[in-house]
Structures are given as C-alpha cells and as structure tokens.
C-alpha cells in the first residue's frame, strides 16, 4: 500500500523531524548494502517520534525502526515503507543512576560512564551503534553485557508509553523481549553501574579498542559477528564433545570455531567475503549485494548443520526480506 499524501504531510509537520523520500538504505547501514526505503523519518524528540510511530501504524504502510544500521542486512530490493529513526541522544546522572535516550551513540554513553568513574560499560568500548539497539540486542563484549546495568526501560508499545524494570526486559545472551515484540520501541533507559577507578577503566578501554580495531578495521563494511555464539549447555551432546576445552569461553562455544571447521575462512561470493582471519566475520568489499550475503550465510548454516547437527542463529537482523518468495533467508533442515 503506498503512503498517502496526508500521512506524508503529517510526518513532515512533526517538530524536530526530518523526512526524506526514496532513500537508498545502503547509506544507513554499515554493510553499505540495501535498496531504497519509500521514506526515512528521523525524529529528535520523544513526543514527535511516538507520533511518527502512530502515523506510520495508522497509514497501514509497513514500517520499521532502525538505529545506526550496524547490525542489519537490508534487502537489495529495499524496504517498501517507512523507516523510523529516533535520534535523541541526551544523557545524564540522576543521583546514583545514569539516564540515556535511545538515540545516543553507545560510545558516548561508554565515555560518559567512564568520566563519572563508573565501571562496566567500559568493556563495550568500540561497539558501534546507538543505545536503543544495544538494549534491544543486549549488546556486550569482553565480559559485560548492557543488561547487567539496565534498571528501567521506557518504551512505546504501539498504544502507550510505559516503563518496565530489567526483569520485564527478559534479557539473555544477545536477547531481550524487544526482539520478540517488534512493535515495542525503546525510548530511553536508566542504568546503574558500580564505581571504578577512572584511570584503570580508561586504560582497559584503550586496550580493548586496540584489539577491536585490529579485528574490525573502522572502515570495514560488516556487522561484527554474523552468528551468535552457542551456549555450551544447550549444544547437542555430540557437538559439545567435539569442542576443545581451550576454545570455550564464559560457557559459550564460539560460532567461529564451528565455522572454521567447515572451511568458512576466506570464502567468497561476489563482493561478499568471509574474513581470512575470522570465520564469523563477513564483510562487503564494496561491490557486495544482500543476495550474495544471504547466500553465504545460508551456505554456512547448511555446512554447520550437516557437520555438527546444530543450527547457527544470526545475531544480525534482516530488513526488507519479507516479500521474498519462499522461506528467506534459507533455513537448512536439521
């Protein structure tokens, strides 16, 4: 269904809102891949963003929320509707709590927490993206996940703006309730962190950043890890028995280990390449398409399923694939 002129005008009339039509989503994703969206609508204040979500819903047109685009694969065909982005990025301290709006760049929050002498988020130095998506996907690295520190989340459920505590968020490894309730949109959050020594936190953050930049060069068109790691306790016994003790970390078997066993490193299709040094890192060399990217992902899932009898699950999210014929992306039978 095409968006009506009335809905377009209503979006355009919202305060602190920028509306663009026929926008290539490759400009909004770290992969640099993706066809056009009919509309991209950026709102810099909560009331306008909530109204934009209401206008989008009432219009009957497909819509989706995007952050900085560092964990999405957008279809080459694009998205036949409205992409909404919440760009409000305020943050501050309220007594012993840290509050932050969902459009804040995660690294700004990390830096702010370190300036306040707060410990925990420093280990997320260098994770790209905005805070809303970090909560949505329970982002984390080097021993900490954001869920450890989230105390309250303010969100719009499609009808009302409400708040929930961390229990309601149902956090798990790279999971939250927001991944299952796609119509719920995160607006802001309150976090609590223990105190730490500023200099020690800064030194550790610098070390982490150096390691991350070596693994993910800042200009690399990728999404970080494509697949989630696997919880050892959930692995089929026969697959678990094959994982060497030396590779399991924090109760997880790296997806990269299984991928490496099936020859993923260096695999290439068109402009899409699996890094030669990291089997769970797929990047676009500049000429890549979502068709090739999804084909590589499907091939890797199929190989791991055939060899280990287990199903790798993507950490990356898909956008604009719903119109494809047949099940997509391809799921191998396990």
**Smallest separation, CB 198 to ligand FAD (Å):** 23
Q: Does 86 bind ligand FAD (CB under 6 A)?
A: yes
Annotated active-site residue 225? The verdict is yes
Q: Does 171 bind ligand FAD (CB under 6 A)?
A: no
Q: Does 125 bind ligand FAD (CB under 6 A)?
A: no
Sole window of 113-121, 135-143, 251-259, 264-272 interacting with ligand FAD (rule: CB under 6 A): 135-143
| Strands of the 36-43 sheet, one edge to the other | 17-24, 36-43, 79-86, 63-65
| Active-site entry in 85, 174, 204, 303 | 174
**Smallest separation, CB 36 to ligand FAD (Å):** 17
Q: Does 65 bind ligand FAD (CB under 6 A)?
A: yes
Q: Does 134 bind ligand FAD (CB under 6 A)?
A: yes
CA–CA separation, 326 and 331 (whole Å): 11
Residues 141-160 that bind ligand FAD (CB under 6 A): 141
| Options 23, 25, 30, 33; binder of ligand FAD; rule CB under 6 A | 30
H or E segment to which residue 7 belongs? helix 5-12
Q: Does 40 bind ligand FAD (CB under 6 A)?
A: no
Q: Does 34 bind ligand FAD (CB under 6 A)?
A: no
Contact present, 318 and 312 (Cβ < 8 Å): no
CB nearer ligand FAD, residue 86 or residue 258? 86
Q: How many residues bind ligand FAD (CB under 6 A)?
A: 32
Q: Does 185 bind ligand FAD (CB under 6 A)?
A: yes
Q: Does 222 bind ligand FAD (CB under 6 A)?
A: yes
| Options 178, 227, 257, 308; binder of ligand FAD; rule CB under 6 A | 178
| Active-site entry in 70, 123, 225, 290 | 225
Annotated active-site residue 315? The verdict is yes
Q: Does 32 bind ligand FAD (CB under 6 A)?
A: no
Q: Does 317 bind ligand FAD (CB under 6 A)?
A: yes
* Nearest one of 316, 112, 325, 136 to 202, comparing CA atoms: 112
How does DSSP classify residue 283? E
Q: Does 223 bind ligand FAD (CB under 6 A)?
A: yes
Assigned token pair, 171: 């956090």
Binding site for ligand FAD (CB under 6 A): 30, 64-72, 86, 102, 127-130, 132-134, 136-137, 139-141, 178, 185-186, 216, 222-224, 317
- Residues identified as active-site: 174, 225, 315
């Amino acid at each position: 269904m095409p968006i009506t002129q009335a809905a377009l005008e209503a979006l355009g009339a919202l305060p602190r809102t920028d509306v663009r039509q026929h926008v290539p989503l490759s400009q909004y994703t770290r992969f640099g891949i993706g066809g056009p969206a009919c509309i991209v609508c950026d709102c810099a204040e909560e009331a306008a963003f909530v109204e934009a979500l209401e206008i989008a819903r009432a219009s009957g047109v497909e819509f989706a929320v995007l952050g900085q685009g560092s964990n999405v694969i957008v279809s080459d065909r694009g998205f036949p509707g409205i992409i909404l982005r919440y760009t409000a990025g305020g943050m501050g301290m309220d007594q012993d709590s840290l509050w932050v709006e969902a459009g804040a760049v995660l690294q700004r929050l990390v830096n702010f927490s370190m300036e306040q002498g707060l410990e925990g988020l420093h280990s997320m130095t260098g994770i790209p993206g905005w805070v809303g998506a970090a909560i949505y996907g329970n982002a984390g690295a080097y021993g900490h996940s954001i869920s450890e520190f989230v105390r309250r989340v303010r969100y719009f459920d499609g009808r009302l703006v409400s708040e929930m505590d961390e229990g309601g968020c149902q956090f798990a490894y790279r999971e939250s309730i927001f991944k299952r309730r796609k119509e719920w949109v995160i607006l802001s959050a309150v976090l609590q962190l223990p105190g730490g020594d500023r200099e020690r936190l800064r030194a550790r953050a610098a070390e982490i950043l150096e390691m991350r930049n070596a693994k993910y060069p800042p200009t690399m068109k990728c999404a970080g890890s494509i697949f989630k790691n696997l919880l050892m306790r959930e692995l089929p016994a026969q697959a678990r028995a094959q994982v060497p003790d030396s590779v399991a970390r924090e109760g997880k078997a790296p997806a990269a280990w299984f991928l490496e066993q099936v020859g993923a490193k260096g695999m290439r299709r068109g402009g899409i390449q699996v890094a030669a040094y990291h089997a769970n890192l797929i990047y676009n060399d500049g000429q890549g398409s979502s068709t090739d990217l999804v084909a590589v992902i499907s091939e890797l899932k199929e190989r791991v399923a055939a060899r280990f009898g287990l199903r790798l699950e993507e950490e990356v999210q898909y956008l604009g694939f719903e119109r494809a014929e047949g099940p997509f992306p391809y799921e191998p039978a396990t």
